[in-house]
Amino acid sequence: MSEASGTHAYDPSEEHAFPDGKVNDVLAYIESDEEIQAYLEAQNVNPVARKGYNDHGAKHIEIVRNRALRLYDLLKRGGVAFNGATDQGLDEADEAVIVALAATLHDIGHVVHRDDHSYYSIPLAADLLDRLLPEFYGTGDAVRVKAEVLHAILCHHTEEEPLTTEAGVIRVADGLDMERGRSRIPYERGGRGINTISSQAIREVTLEPGDDTPVLVEIKMHNAAGVYQVDNLLKEKLDRSMLEDSIRIVAINTSGDGERLVERIEL
């Protein structure tokens, strides 16, 4: 993983703690697929332009996918077992494919409506997967990968409980896109809701190996409003993710103010 603008960008040329040949081929296919790229742009209209929410478009997807693969890599290095592909009789190399595809397609249901979008994402993603997966898999394995990707998509933002570690990665990675850039458009348009204000308070999110857990997530915020992103949104994502014992989250208030309401919180 390489660090760019405060985020860990997935670099196919680097060494990873998992077989990466197949996922790199899938990622190249995604980048050149006009229909998928059109969805990533179109899915931002309902949440941002019509509802005034934070970014859910192509940039959000890029960040979530980068962080999902970074998170997956760190968990693999830390010896965390993944069960989604394994339960289906798939190869270890298919774990990263499931993570990458679910991260890419998890929000496309926004083209239908912001509300309940994860449920709308299922049929739309299924259609795309039916076209994409035969490029890389035979019929049986394509069905199995599709099942795992759809499970991870469904569990990213609903009351549905993740049953696989891969789905847990998507759930947590979605909550890790919280820096101020995500709320730039609604903020510039005058939006001052709690999601926008709290996102504006987050300066940087980093993922590194932890001392006592496979993953340490460090969040730097410049005022206490960022607590909402951490203690409400991210905490809810981590809960029931199957990764609660593998990820340590620390948020630090870097404000220079003499009287800081919150200096440090830890999940």
Task: Give the mean pLDDT of 133-137.
Answer: 98
Select the more confidently predicted residue: 158 or 72.
72
Q: What is the pLDDT of residue 214?
A: 98
pTM of this structure: 0.87
CA–CA gap between residue 234 and residue 224 (Å, rounded) = 15
Under 8 Å between Cβ of 233 and 178: yes
Task: Give the mean pLDDT of 150-171.
Answer: 95
- The three-class DSSP label of residue 124 is helix
Under 8 Å between Cβ of 257 and 201: no
Q: What is the pLDDT of residue 107?
A: 96
CA–CA gap between residue 202 and residue 229 (Å, rounded) = 8
Work out the percent of the chain whose per-residue pLDDT is above 70: 81
Count of Cβ atoms closer than 10 Å to residue 153 Cβ: 29
Q: Tokens 């809960």, residue?
A: 239
CA–CA gap between residue 146 and residue 138 (Å, rounded) = 12
CA dihedral 239, 222, 186, 66 (to 10 degrees): -50
Q: What is the pLDDT of residue 40?
A: 96
Select the more confidently predicted residue: 201 or 15.
15
- The three-class DSSP label of residue 212 is coil
Q: Tokens 């998890």, residue?
A: 106
Please state, in angstroms and as integers, the Cα–Cα distance from residue 52 to each residue in 62, 188, 199, 242, following that order: 20, 11, 13, 32
Residue-wise pLDDT for 164-218, tens only, equals 999 999 999 998 988 764 444 443 444 445 455 565 778 889 999 999 999 999 9
Q: By mean pLDDT, which of 12-16, 36-40, 254-258 is the weakest?
A: 254-258
Tokens of 226: 């960022």
Q: Is the pLDDT of residue 226 over 90?
A: no
Q: Is the pLDDT of residue 147 over 90?
A: yes
Count of the separate structural domains present in the chain: 1
Domain that holds residue 33: 2-266
CA–CA gap between residue 186 and residue 102 (Å, rounded) = 26
Q: Is the pLDDT of residue 123 over 60?
A: yes
